[in-house]
Structure 1
Amino acid sequence: MLDILGDISSFVWGPPTLILIVGTGLYLTFRLGFLQIRALPYALKLAFSPKRQDKKSKGDISHYQALTTAMAATIGTGNIVGVATAVVVGGPGAVFWMWITALFGMATKYAEALLAVKYRTTDSKGQMSGGPMYYLERGMNAKWLGVLFAIFGAIAAFGIGNMVQSNSVSDALQSSFNIPTWVTGIVLTLLTGLVILGGIKSIGKVTAFFVPIMAAIYVIGGLIIMVMNLDLIPAAISLIFTDAFTGSAVGGGILGTVIRYGVARGVFSNEAGLGSAPIAAAAAKTDYPGRQALVSMTQVFIDTILVCSITGITIVMADQFSGGLDGAPLTSASFSAFLGETGGYLVTISIVFFAFSTLVGWSYYGEKCFGYLFKNDKALSIYRIVFVLVVFYGAIELIDVVWLMADIMNALMAIPNLIGLLGLSGVVAYETKKFMKIAKEEKEQEKSAKAKSA
């Protein structure tokens, strides 16, 4: 069974799917006129500047909370383990292709979030529900595709969003601090239950506080390494760029391997095109779909261009990627090469934070997918309870079959979502044009108000 599932996983994450994901981002990039580049400064301002919510805005959580909830799910072990694997198998050039994937992925993430807000609905409790299943049903008139996405998402949440994460935490703590896995499992289960049983508002508050701290700890650690070793950066960057087009360093010297692993790990990390993050975006308080879409777009920039780059460049600088190490041990060894034991502990603590945040974010995704399939409060409560209990099981034992099945479900989520993005690209272009006109008027009004006050 493992061999069969492994073959299926390799197929669904093979070149056709990766080409579809990157191709969709490329198409949207040109259709939106490279919006992710020209509107990035404004998008970052929307995401991090305190702004009074318009009274007409509908939603459950703020722009910032929606962003951090999505980032909680995406900034995970992929930023530490996935990047290391990409460099080992694909070579240093894989980091470059992660950047390219992120560049086009920003346009994909923007489109996902815009459609999620535009086609969202209000459930029986007065809370917002949205995501691919809703824009496939209400926008594309293809409910069967929405149902497929929801099935894949609800199942994937238990693997990639739950057991894999809790197992990563327990394994890291046992290796570094000799903490028994069952102890970690109990603590994780209790913490997860306290957060997710409170619903999206509770999740939003926790991630708004939690995510900036965990990301800052890791990024600052990486920046300290770079500042202390400025002389190594030019050679590392040069190797990343040259290997991106030659594939000569590792991975058998095959250029296709470099591109494939760079793209695959980039997608794994920022989830652009998978359809998960727009579920959180749909809960945001916003007056226009385009406003929240720009905020969501910054998630890819932070996740891949910032956090993954810290990992990738540090690993290349340490030059230990061809010595037999892989995954978390490689990243840990690379940080330790520059910071001593402190570097290893930094990576371990980051894995704990990243994995737990992913667990919390994915709990919401799975819940919303399940809620789309079964509009029953009792069934939803049971789903939440089971999700919390599975955290403990994942911490003490992770079955390879679970990982592979979740991996397959994760890839299958992307297919109906990408169909929706391509089919509704005209709606995305129209809504974007409308909002950018409004944003321009708002900017002129702000300038006028400042001039009058002066």
Structure 2
Amino acid sequence: MEFIVDGLNGILWNYVLIYGLLGAGIFFTIRLGALQFLHFGEMLRVITSAPRTDRRGITPFQALTVSLASRVGTGNLAGVAVALSLGGPGAIFWMWMVALVGMATAYSESTLAQLYKITTKSGDFRGGPAFYISKGLNAPWAGVLFSICLILSFGLIFVAVQSNSIAEALSGAFGLEKLWVGAGVAVIAAIVIFGGIKAIARVAEIVVPFMAGGYLLIAVVVMVLNFSEVPGLLWLIVSSALGLQEAAGGVAGGVMAAMLNGIKRGLFSNEAGMGSAPNIAAVATPSPHHPSSQGMVQAFGCFVDTILVCTATALMILLSGALAGGEATGMQLTQNALDVHLGPTGTYFIAVAIIFFAFTSILGNYSYAENAMVFLGLEGRVAMTILRSGCLAMVVWGSVQTVATVFNFADAAMGLMAVINITAILLLSGTVYRLTKDYFDQRKSGKEPTFILENFDGKPKGISKNIWNETDDVSAT
């Protein structure tokens, strides 16, 4: 089994997904007219002008923070350090490139998730890739396979990975027993996840801005204190990526190493095209009342994750000189960098950052699995209790175990998810294009974009008329 899983991961992550995710990003960037660049201001306007309350879903800002809770995890600390160690400063440039084109992919998948969402028996919005795969492509079997992979990877195994990071951080910084750390995290997580997606959203909209804002603030302070060196480091990142100078940091392979490692870490960090964030995008009540508005919210989430948070980590490492100072990699390299900038306080800062980043990832990852359960028809109290209990059990288990084969299996499941999702959004790209055109045509005519299915060109099948033929302000309470 280990041989099979490792072989599948090698094919998926070294070939299929590298080219598939990057290619999809470039394709959507071109087809949508570089939307993420020309309409970046619209992304900000949608997020800042959305109402604070909603009736059947969660707010656009809450959807953004939940997706960031999942995206912004330990990979933003350890993953960036790995990219620098293996690919040198140039790897960060390629992370930027992947994120910038990935914003178009993130927009497309979340727009489709909004379009094909449903209203549950309890009156809540649910949706995601499984729904647009099943309804838009008439392939319910693929939706079932996607949902199973999502539950196994995000709902169970990845929460164990994040729990392990928290246990390692608290054990190393404060000498706490890992099992008790896992039990404590499970108890706190239980209080939130047993309240469902709306409870997770309420927690995320408070914790995530505090978490990301605090981390970025420390990075800004470090850059201000070393301001004279920052322009040179930015040039080092660009020049190393383009082969304009020798590879830095003892990295072998030069430009190719920078490109491959930057692309890999960038794809894993921002999750654009993976089919994860659309699950929470579908739950939001969009404002304006148009699928494209929530697509723009999630595209901005991709920008925050990589362009802001990952870049902050990279610059703090490069400014410290820790990259060229030893054999440390991963989280230890990030730790060493913060020790240079903050002294002994750096150890505790990283420990606290890991706790916040990993804990919010647990909540975000679980929320995706809950949507998959709804698609599978398992939205009853018993089924949801089993999922939540399984998630919490994995939190405790993950705090004391590191079983590589199990984690590799999760990577394989996520890779299969991504292949299914990329195929689906490419096949539905015509719908994405028409939705985008409809949105901006209304903007140009001075109207507040409102999507009415009966007026939409093509009238795709499988879309809820109850949701998308409304003309009233559904975002009001």
Same-fold call, TM > 0.5? yes
Q: Residues 207-356 of structure 1: matches in 2 within 5 Å?
A: 207-246=204-243, 248-249=247-248, 250-286=250-286, 287-322=289-324, 323-356=326-359
Work out whether 1:127 is the aligned partner of 2:131: no
Distance 1:184-1:197 versus aligned 2 partners, 3 A rule: same
Give the Cα–Cα distance (whole angstroms) in 1 for the partners of residues 157 and 232 of structure 2. 35
Structure 2 residue aligned with 1:359:
362
SS across alignment from 1:306: helix
CA apart distance, 1:143: 1.7
CA apart distance, 1:2: 4.3
> After the TM superposition, which parts of structure 1 deviate over 4 Å for at least 4 consecutive aligned residues?
1-4, 441-445
Bigger proportion of residues as helix = 1
Give the Cα–Cα distance (whole angstroms) in 1 for the partners of residues 198 and 446 of structure 2. 29
Give the Cα–Cα distance (whole angstroms) in 2 for the partners of residues 143 and 373 of structure 1. 10
Structure 1 residue aligned with 2:468:
none
SS across alignment from 2:242: helix
Which one is further off, 300-309 or 2-11? 2-11
Q: Write the letter of the residue equivalent to 1:194.
A: I
Q: Residues 9-408 of structure 1: matches in 2 within 5 Å?
A: 9-51=9-51, 59-158=56-155, 161-246=158-243, 248-249=247-248, 250-286=250-286, 287-322=289-324, 323-377=326-380, 378-408=382-412
1:3-36 deviation digits (Å, cap 9, x = unpaired): 5533332221113311110110100001110100
Work out whether 1:421 is the aligned partner of 2:418: no
Q: Write the letter of the residue equivalent to 2:218.
A: G
Q: Write the letter of the residue equivalent to 2:293.
A: R
Give the Cα–Cα distance (whole angstroms) in 2 for the partners of residues 169 and 255 of structure 1. 34
CA apart distance, 1:151: 1.6
Give the Cα–Cα distance (whole angstroms) in 2 for the partners of residues 65 and 16 of structure 1. 33
1:253-287 deviation digits (Å, cap 9, x = unpaired): 24322111111111111100100000000000121
Give the Cα–Cα distance (whole angstroms) in 2 for the partners of residues 12 and 290 of structure 1. 30
Preserved CA contact (<8 Å) 1:159 1:402 = no
Distance 1:251-1:7 versus aligned 2 partners, 3 A rule: farther
Give the Cα–Cα distance (whole angstroms) in 1 for the partners of residues 60 and 448 of structure 2. 22
Q: Write the letter of the residue equivalent to 1:253.
A: G
CA apart distance, 1:42: 1.8
Preserved CA contact (<8 Å) 1:275 1:414 = yes
1:32-75 deviation digits (Å, cap 9, x = unpaired): 1010011111211221345377xxx8741001011111111111
RMSD: 1.9
Give the Cα–Cα distance (whole angstroms) in 2 for the partners of residues 220 and 173 of structure 1. 23
Distance 1:386-1:429 versus aligned 2 partners, 3 A rule: same
Preserved CA contact (<8 Å) 1:158 1:406 = no
Preserved CA contact (<8 Å) 2:157 2:394 = no
Give the Cα–Cα distance (whole angstroms) in 2 for the partners of residues 257 and 59 of structure 1. 47
Give the Cα–Cα distance (whole angstroms) in 1 for the partners of residues 47 and 259 of structure 2. 31
Q: Write the letter of the residue equivalent to 2:282.
A: A
Q: Write the letter of the residue equivalent to 1:221.
A: I
Give the Cα–Cα distance (whole angstroms) in 2 for the partners of residues 285 and 439 of structure 1. 19
CA apart distance, 1:130: 0.8
Distance 1:80-1:159 versus aligned 2 partners, 3 A rule: farther
Q: Write the letter of the residue equivalent to 2:438.
A: K
Give the Cα–Cα distance (whole angstroms) in 2 for the partners of residues 334 and 81 of structure 1. 12
Give the Cα–Cα distance (whole angstroms) in 2 for the partners of residues 343 and 376 of structure 1. 44
TM-score, scaled to structure 1: 0.93
Distance 1:311-1:52 versus aligned 2 partners, 3 A rule: closer
Identity %, equivalent residues: 37
Q: Write the letter of the residue equivalent to 2:140.
A: K
Which one is further off, 373-382 or 304-313? 373-382
Structure 1 residue aligned with 2:458:
none
CA apart distance, 1:312: 1.1
1:60-113 deviation digits (Å, cap 9, x = unpaired): 100101111111111101110111001101111110000000000100000011
Give the Cα–Cα distance (whole angstroms) in 2 for the partners of residues 307 and 21 of structure 1. 21
CA apart distance, 1:160: 5.1
CA apart distance, 1:227: 0.3
Q: Residues 442-453 of structure 1: matches in 2 within 5 Å?
A: 442=446
Which one is further off, 61-70 or 145-154? 145-154
Query: Structure 1, unaligned stretches of length 5 or more?
Result: 446-454
CA apart distance, 1:116: 0.1
Structure 1 residue aligned with 2:474:
none
SS across alignment from 2:224: helix
Distance 1:93-1:373 versus aligned 2 partners, 3 A rule: same
Give the Cα–Cα distance (whole angstroms) in 2 for the partners of residues 58 and 116 of structure 1. 19
Preserved CA contact (<8 Å) 1:160 1:407 = no
Which one is further off, 202-211 or 231-240? 231-240
Distance 1:264-1:69 versus aligned 2 partners, 3 A rule: same
Structure 2 residue aligned with 1:448:
none
CA apart distance, 1:242: 1.4
Q: Write the letter of the residue equivalent to 1:42.
A: E
Give the Cα–Cα distance (whole angstroms) in 2 for the partners of residues 367 and 283 of structure 1. 11
